[in-house]
Amino acid sequence: MSTTSFNISRRSFLKACCLGVGTGSLPVWFLERELASAATASGSLGPNDRPGIALVGCGGMGQVDAGLAARFGDIVAVCDVDQKHAEQAATKFTKGGKVPEKFNDFRKVMERSDIHVIITGTPDHWHTLVNLAASQAGKDVYGEKPLTLTIDEGKHLIQAVRAKKTVLQTGTQQRSDPRFRLACELVRNGRIGKLKDITVWLPAGLREGPFKPTASPSELNWDFWLGQAPKADYVPQRCHTMFRYWYDYSGGTMTDWGAHHNDIALWAIGLQGPVEVEGIALAQPIPGGYTAISEYEVRFTYANSVVHTARTTKADNIYGGIEDPQGQRNGVRFEGSNGWIWVNRGTLRASDKTLIDTPLPEGAERLYNSNDHMGNFFECVRSRKDPICRVEVGHRSASTCHLGAIALRTGLKLKWDPDNEIFVGEHAKTANTWLAREMRKPYDYSFV
């Protein structure tokens, strides 16, 4: 935080750490270790100054994030290009008679010096410009996943965050779930032997359409909502919630769910990204309907020969809920020379129970420990340290998903240089044109 300092009480932080983290399927040795590290964590935190928070993008997830953030600070402003959503959020976050100020242009939010934290809950195609504006104004950001719409956007964002020394947490909260952390620690420490394959199961997207344009609602600034994306007639299915099934605004479930599960694959592998990617569409979009490929299989190969396959399942719905109890759940399966580990939101299993139940030895590689994603962010806002999903983590996870979408859309087998973040080899010239997109004026980088 650049302008005011504040502290979060250790007791409330530890209490928050315990919220929402069920312990089912976690072994006793791991829970004991967690308690021991909590007991020695962070020393004495001082009195409780509360930062000012603004929510930009007041839809479903933005409101969830703001609710979680309100444990640590005060929601003093809300901003949306849909007036109704801004009003709903202002009502929801009114506290002690204080109504958050309503905005319809996020650039104005950045002018308020009593706002220290921005929560970015817009659709994906707006994430980068909002986060850039926030960083340039010296504000810290809790930014929803996938962090960017393109790989090029991520490079711009890293530069701004590091230049301004702001704190950015990516909203990939699975890294703050102890099941995923333990699975990755076990894999990294060779518990299943040499890691060979990772299968990431993602819910299939929607294959629907064609849709009919209608007049846009009077409370919505449709041109501002479209932003950098190509001009398009208003279709309700392009807009709230459903934007993720259009490549103009997002990347289908490859970037929606992939931002979570591919991120976990990367965490276990410990590399910056793959060196090869190829994909195949298992269903074609309906003309005039959602454009993102709904069913697919994409294969990423890493420099250490690990193969990571991202596949869709129709047994879970787009929210991750069970449609077919006998079918394949979304989640991540690690296959090694000595066995396998399966993890998702709620389960951690292995080919042999002892792979999980046997404690890791002293000196084993430990991963960044956070059990409360929002709490970790506010702790870092105070300490100025990097949060668990710092900007580089969010960028690389998003990049891996973007690579998958590019392979699907081009149908090409592509070679990627993760150090220099460019495509190389036979199809490099074509593929490198996919690193950025033309941003419709005035909503390009000069907008902020």
Give the residues lining the site for ligand NAD (CB under 6 A). 56-62, 79-82, 85, 106, 121-124, 126, 144-145, 171, 173, 224-225, 227, 240-241, 256
Buried b (16+ CB within 10 A) or exposed e, 8-22: bebeebbebbeeeee
* Residue, CB closest to ligand NAD: 59
Least Cβ distance, residue 259 to ligand NAD (angstroms): 7
Least Cβ distance, residue 55 to ligand NAD (angstroms): 9
When the beta carbons of 368 and 447 are compared against ligand NAD, the nearer one is 447
Least Cβ distance, residue 107 to ligand NAD (angstroms): 10
- Which residue has 């340039």 as its token pair? 136
Distance CA 207, CA 196 (A): 33
Buried b (16+ CB within 10 A) or exposed e, 321-341: eeeeeeeebbbbbbbbeeebb
When the beta carbons of 123 and 336 are compared against ligand NAD, the nearer one is 123
When the beta carbons of 10 and 107 are compared against ligand NAD, the nearer one is 107
> CA 407 → CA 272, 283, 293, 396, 404, distances in Å?
18, 15, 12, 16, 5
Residue 252 near residue 175 (C-beta atoms within 8 A): no
Distance CA 436, CA 136 (A): 21
Least Cβ distance, residue 173 to ligand NAD (angstroms): 6
When the beta carbons of 145 and 409 are compared against ligand NAD, the nearer one is 145
Least Cβ distance, residue 106 to ligand NAD (angstroms): 5
Distance CA 69, CA 100 (A): 14
**Other C-beta atoms lying within 10 Å of the C-beta of residue 96:** 5
Distance CA 99, CA 77 (A): 8
When the beta carbons of 16 and 149 are compared against ligand NAD, the nearer one is 149
Q: What is the DSSP string of 179-223?
A: HHHHHHHHHHTTTTSSEEEEEEEEE-----------PPPTTB-HH
Close Cβ partners of 30 (under 8 Å, ≥ 6 residues apart)? 178, 182, 359
Distance CA 308, CA 263 (A): 11
Least Cβ distance, residue 328 to ligand NAD (angstroms): 20
The SS3 of residue 19 is coil
When the beta carbons of 277 and 389 are compared against ligand NAD, the nearer one is 389
Least Cβ distance, residue 130 to ligand NAD (angstroms): 7
Distance CA 423, CA 433 (A): 10
When the beta carbons of 134 and 435 are compared against ligand NAD, the nearer one is 134
Least Cβ distance, residue 58 to ligand NAD (angstroms): 5
When the beta carbons of 256 and 278 are compared against ligand NAD, the nearer one is 256
